[in-house]
Amino acid sequence: MGIRERLSRLTPATGGRIVNLSRRRFLQGAGGLVLGLYFAPLSSPQSNAVAASAATGADFEPNAFVRIAADGRVTVLSKHVEMGQGSYTGLATLLAEELDADWSQVVVEGAPADAKRYANLLFGIQATGGSSAMANAWMQMREAGAAARAMLVAAAAERWQIPEVELQVEAGVIRHPASQRSAGFGELVADAARQPVPAEVRVKEPKDFRLIGKLNLRRKDSAGKTDGSARFTQDVQLPGMLVAVTARPPRFGAKVQRFDASRALAVPGVVGVVAFDASAARGANAVAVLANSTWAAWQGRDALDVSWDEAQAFRLGSDEIIARYRELAMQPGVPARQDGDAVTTIEMAARTLEAEYVFPYLAHAAMEPMNCVVRLSPQHCEIWNGEQWHTMDQATAAKMCGLTPDQVTITQLYAGGGFGRRANPTSDYVAEAVAIALAARAHGFEAPVKMVWTREDDMHAGHFRPLYLHRARLGFDGAGQLLAWEQRIVGQSILHGTAFESVMVKDGIDATSVEGAADLAYAVPALRVELHTPVDITVPVQWWRSVGHSHTAFVTETLIDEAAAVAGADPVAFRRGLLAERPRHRGVLDLVTQRAGWDTPLASAAAGERRGRGVAVHESFNTYVAQVVELTVAADGRYRIDRVVCAVDCGLAINPDVIKAQMEGGIGFALAMALHGAITLKDGVVEQSNFDSYPVLRINEMPVVEVHIVPSAEKPSGVGEPGVPPLAPALANALFAATGQRLRSLPLPAALRLA
């Protein structure tokens, strides 16, 4: 059972078809048509219900994916958060395609938290993650648009007393060529609201697409992010709102022993200091400073005098953790995959290869640190947030407030990046904001609270990509043919101690720890992958962009390169031979090597320089990506990445420009990890604090990137994460090609020692 299947068991998933489960009612005084489209089996006895009450002008409680106003504006409600990955544009494209809307009149709003209407069909809860938005919404949003179009066409046909088949729809206008009559969508909304919701709709054939697959389709979030009108959590201003900043312990697991608030309260603008319990966030007792501005809250927090009880604090450093992992890696782990007898085959092999790989903790380091706005009343909790984990955050807030989930409303705003951080299994930062608001109210502060993290908070508070150690052994015959592969992975489980553990961890295997290795694509006769999951390492961890693939791809793709060298084979030819039953892997591999000119020698290096080219291919989240890295190593061992060529097969390309941008962004993100990324601990204290000690990629480090999309008729898959895994191994393989040195740990050294 895969991750998505396990996750779907947490909450019953809706089906994938449209029925009318509520009356379609006109928005009172708004003059707009609201189509409430709920997805459940077509066999529902309500599938032929009509929106008869639309004519009454009664208020409408929306459970909608699309809203059309009298001025012709089409509003698409996105159940997925927009955090830079292009989900608003993709979802709007799907719906507008089938609606035949005028793209310039389409706007997108974040849908509220409501799993009954907006569940991710792959997960069963409302959430964004796993590069699933387009795969999840592919038919759902198209059918929503097609149903809206059908009702508009029926309204026009009834008004003009002509057959529907004689009407044409294009760019938000319905025309009857024979009589030269036409009407915009806005002119028809009142009549369309009276039409029955179609029990079944037919969507377009790809040959008829006008928006899907189109180049230069303007993104729906670009204008607002350019002119400053885009609304993020930090932009929320409510009457009487207080800003909260939390004092955090230097070590994970420490608790407040005592605190003196006198100096903090002396800071102008500070109005209170409250202790709170954020246990729902795996945290301990903490203290928050409340102020009328962010600056005052920061100053007050810095002035706060806190003593910490560190009796239960975590005190190991990174080197000590690695040493413990190294000991575990020498012992058999829990099998995640076993084909044949890899252990015996390796012991009897004519030649063997052994390697150890180390990957540090990594921060998410999104542009927007964690923040959240909460307003409480006796029977209600309101949250404003760049919301990625709607259902779980809503349930957590409800439990903390003694409410039911439907008494918690979440307004979904833009998120300034996430990379997995905002989809926290324990709802940590949302729980912290709610806990502070509850504590503030208990101290007499009946005011909304905006919780704000600094960049230093973001670095120190944990929830990192786990630290991993891999130990691998390969066995070959006398001719260099790969016979067996054994791989042991040691690292914390993201799901340990969360509500997801019982559902998503099966037989001791957290699939997010072994994905990309346990499902190795290469045809190796004997394969064994094992996992050690230490539970005594209590550094808070969290899935990170591409999750397990962020480390497994580096191991598998550098190991396969080493195996090719043992066999005396070209790295591409060697891979193709082991991917005979994997046509989509071979497809991206063939395209990327063709476009990179793999069979053409690299341009000669300058005196004292060396040039190299490396390749990697990997599948994650049902998307296939291959990358070729070209680089130059200077005489002093420093190197520059000259060019990255990328090929991607993500099924049918909905928005080619978004796909290209996500591959480029994923490559830059992965390159930062490969060159700089490392969170280290010393005596339990995180050593990094901001971008001076945890660098992101500099502009001068970004290479030329070429992206090529494999034409495909397969269902769309995601692109937010799959561009990340192949970059680091392709880079390491290119360095080997240039220098003959194998690199098995990240981040890579800034300079190599050259012979």
Which residue has 């009356």 as its token pair?
23
Longest dimension (CA), the chain: 85
Write the DSSP assignment of 76-91 as a string of letters: EEESS--SSSSHHHHH
Helix ranges (DSSP H) in 238-341: 262-265, 294-303, 318-329
Nearest by Cα to 209 from 93, 127, 46: 93
Q: Mean pLDDT throughout 480-487?
A: 98
Helix ranges (DSSP H) in 1-132: 3-8, 87-99, 115-118
Q: Are residues 402 and 479 in the same domain?
A: no
- Least confident piece of the model among 11-25, 425-439, 741-755: 11-25
Instruction: Decide if 508 is inside a domain.
Output: yes
Tokens (6 digits) for 619? 């599948």
Q: Mean pLDDT throughout 500-527?
A: 96
Write the DSSP assignment of 96-143 as a string of letters: HHHHT--GGGEEEEEPPS-HHHH--TTTSSS---TT-HHHHHHHHHHH
Q: Are residues 637 and 689 in the same domain?
A: yes
Domain count, the chain: 3
Nearest by Cα to 668 from 638, 641, 649, 687: 641
Instruction: Decide if 318 is inside a domain.
Output: no
Q: What is the pLDDT of residue 123?
A: 86
Q: Are residues 637 and 617 in the same domain?
A: yes
- Residue 539 — pLDDT band, cuts 50, 70, 90? very high
Q: Write the single-letter amino acid at 268.
A: P
Question: Which residues, listed in sequence order, are joined to residue 77 by a DSSP beta bridge?
Answer: 109
Q: Are residues 696 and 677 in the same domain?
A: yes
Q: How far, in Å, CA of 547 to CA of 663, rounded?
A: 16
Q: What is the pLDDT of residue 7?
A: 43
Domain that holds residue 439: 233-312+370-452
pLDDT higher than threshold 70 for residue 22: no
pLDDT higher than threshold 60 for residue 24: no
Instruction: Decide if 744 is inside a domain.
Output: no
Tokens (6 digits) for 452? 């704000």
Instruction: Decide if 319 is inside a domain.
Output: no
Q: How far, in Å, CA of 187 to CA of 182, rounded?
A: 10
Q: Are residues 551 and 660 in the same domain?
A: yes
Q: What is the residue-averaged pLDDT of the chain? A: 90
| CATH number for position 270 | 3.30.365.10
Helix ranges (DSSP H) in 445-500: 455-460
Question: Which residues, listed in sequence order, are joined to residue 648 by a DSSP beta bridge?
Answer: 625, 709
Q: How far, in Å, CA of 32 to CA of 73, rounded?
A: 9
Q: What is the pLDDT of residue 17?
A: 33
- Residue 46 — pLDDT band, cuts 50, 70, 90? very low
Non-local (6+) Cβ contacts of 463 within 8 A are 364, 421, 424, 428, 540, 541, 542
Q: Are residues 157 and 24 in the same domain?
A: yes
Task: Indicate if the alpha-carbon torsion angle 682, 684, 685, 688 is positive or negative.
Answer: positive
* Packed helices 656-675 and 727-739: angle between N→C axes, nearest 10 degrees: 60
Domain stops at, among 452, 485, 507: 452
H/E run at residue 729:
helix 727-739
- Least confident piece of the model among 85-89, 460-464, 660-664: 460-464
Nearest by Cα to 282 from 456, 468, 467, 495: 495
Q: How far, in Å, CA of 641 to CA of 389, rounded?
A: 36
- Residue 199 — pLDDT band, cuts 50, 70, 90? confident
Nearest by Cα to 271 from 252, 290, 294: 290
Return phi, psi of residue 483, to 5°.
Answer: -110, -35
Instruction: Decide if 717 is inside a domain.
Output: yes
H/E run at residue 561:
helix 549-567
Q: What is the pLDDT of residue 37?
A: 40
**Residue 79 CB-density burial (10 A; 0-12 exposed, 13-18 middle, 19+ buried):** buried
Do residues 483 and 566 lie in contact, with contact meaning Cβ atoms separated by under 8 Å?
no
The pLDDT tens digits for 116-163 are 999 998 888 999 999 999 999 999 999 999 999 999 999 999 999 999
456 CB neighbour count, 10 Å cutoff: 14
Domain stops at, among 452, 486, 504: 452
Q: How far, in Å, CA of 621 to CA of 512, rounded?
A: 12
CA 561, chain centre distance (Å) = 29
Do residues 581 and 383 lie in contact, with contact meaning Cβ atoms separated by under 8 Å?
no
Q: What is the pLDDT of residue 64?
A: 65
Q: Are residues 488 and 432 in the same domain?
A: no
The pLDDT tens digits for 670-721 are 999 999 999 999 999 999 999 999 999 999 999 999 999 999 999 999 999 9
**623: three-class secondary structure by DSSP:** strand
Q: How far, in Å, CA of 159 to CA of 191, rounded?
A: 8
- Residue 277 — pLDDT band, cuts 50, 70, 90? confident
Q: Are residues 527 and 428 in the same domain?
A: no
Q: Mean pLDDT throughout 259-265?
A: 97
Q: Mean pLDDT throughout 726-730?
A: 98
Instruction: Decide if 709 is inside a domain.
Output: yes
Q: Mean pLDDT throughout 412-416?
A: 97
pTM of the predicted model as reported, rounded to 2 decimal places: 0.92
Look at the chain and count its residues: 755
The pLDDT tens digits for 384-402 are 999 999 999 999 999 999 9
Do residues 175 and 139 lie in contact, with contact meaning Cβ atoms separated by under 8 Å?
no
Tokens (6 digits) for 276? 């709170």
Write the DSSP assignment of 485-514 as a string of letters: EEEEEEE--TTTTSTTHHHHEETTEEHHHH
Q: Are residues 377 and 499 in the same domain?
A: no
Q: Are residues 304 and 345 in the same domain?
A: no
Q: How far, in Å, CA of 111 to CA of 81, rounded?
A: 9
Per-residue 3-state assignment (H helix, E strand, C coil) for 507-550: CCEEHHHHCCCCCCCCCCCEEEEEEECCCCCCCCECCCCCCCHH
Q: How far, in Å, CA of 694 to CA of 688, rounded?
A: 6
Tokens (6 digits) for 459? 């670095």
Q: Write the single-letter amino acid at 730.
A: A
Nearest by Cα to 484 from 285, 310, 349: 349
**Residue 206 CB-density burial (10 A; 0-12 exposed, 13-18 middle, 19+ buried):** exposed
Q: Are residues 392 and 374 in the same domain?
A: yes
CA 652, chain centre distance (Å) = 20
The pLDDT tens digits for 493-502 are 999 988 889 9
Instruction: Decide if 752 is inside a domain.
Output: no
Instruction: Decide if 749 is inside a domain.
Output: no
Q: Are residues 357 and 398 in the same domain?
A: no
Tokens (6 digits) for 227? 């002119």
